[in-house]
Amino acid sequence: MPSFEHILFPVDFSGQSSAMAPYVVAMAARYRARVTMLHVDEAGSAYASWPAYGLGDVRPIIEERKQMVESFLSSEFDTVPTARLTLAGEAGRTIADYATKEKVDLIMMPTHGYGPFRRFLLGSVTAKTLHDSQCPVWTSAHLSESSASSTGYNRVLCALDLTSTSLPLLQWASEFAREQGATLKLVHAIPAAAPAGLDLEGGRYRAALFNMATEELEGMQEQAGTSLEIALAGGDVAAVVRQTAEEDRADLVIIGRGVMQAALGRLRTNVYAIIREATCPVLSV
């Protein structure tokens, strides 16, 4: 169940990092959590070898990075306990390793920024963090038209895929929504029932898929002790989640990524796609 006592906030000094501040502060205030603001200096490990190649003293450069972290968003975080840290290494791996070592409860980060955050459409640092981290990861809206409030959540959408991890995810999302005072709605996409798909049985195949999904979701809700509204739609998972979130004006989408580390994990592509298409923040558990 949600219990965020230590929040990790990776920063790269970009505008995207600055835009995250209200969300991180609001989450920390709600859970009375402490925040660690972490900057990973990917060039830092290379700095150490500079003198050996006659490239001069690099200590001023390293010290400058540390001072930047100390002063970054100082006024924005003056109401929550915040530690500031600079580490050298590969950003995604360092973030995940630190989160595991320090028992971080939640990582909050943008989907892309400047420098290492913008390597690919999603951002290699974000993708690496999502893949390697064991704790929940909150990512900002990837698309610019987001209107989600930074102060809290009123409408939460939980995407379920009917795997073995769906019941724990439903229970987790239900508790989170209760803590937030938010309404919670479930969404499930059925790719094989896409509207444009070929159905040689006059619609009976699609109807059977919808009936099976409905029965599974109802059984899951009975186990979880919930009676939440369900949105079922045929089509691409990321597209269905995005469309439902837009229609419901969701403030947050909760998804599971528990099988991402498994060989050929079936959720991996959908996790990245859902986050990449999101117009509101996504909390992956």
Which tokens in the block code for residue 219? 């059984």
Lowest mean pLDDT among 49-53, 94-98, 163-167: 49-53
Per-residue exposure over 44-78, b if at least 16 CB sit within 10 Å of its own CB, e if not: beebeeeeeeeeeebeeebeebeeebeebbeeebe
Q: Tens of pLDDT along 121-161?
A: 467 888 889 989 999 999 998 765 555 667 789 999 999 98
pTM: 0.87
- Between β-strands 282-284 and 137-139, what pairing exists: parallel, antiparallel or unpaired? antiparallel
DSSP E strands in 4-120: the ranges are 6-10, 34-41, 82-88, 106-109
Residue 117 has pLDDT above 90, yes or no: no
Give which of 112, 128, 120 is closest to 15, Cα–Cα: 112
Do 20 and 14 meet the contact criterion of CB atoms below 8 Å apart? no
DSSP state, residue 49: T
Phi, psi of 114 (to 5 degrees): -105, 170
Alpha helices in 122-203 (DSSP H): 124-132, 166-180
Q: How confident is the model at residue 250 (pLDDT cuts 50, 70, 90)?
A: very high
pLDDT, position 263: 39
Q: What domains lie within the chain, and their CATH numbers?
A: 6-139 (3.40.50.620), 155-284 (3.40.50.620)
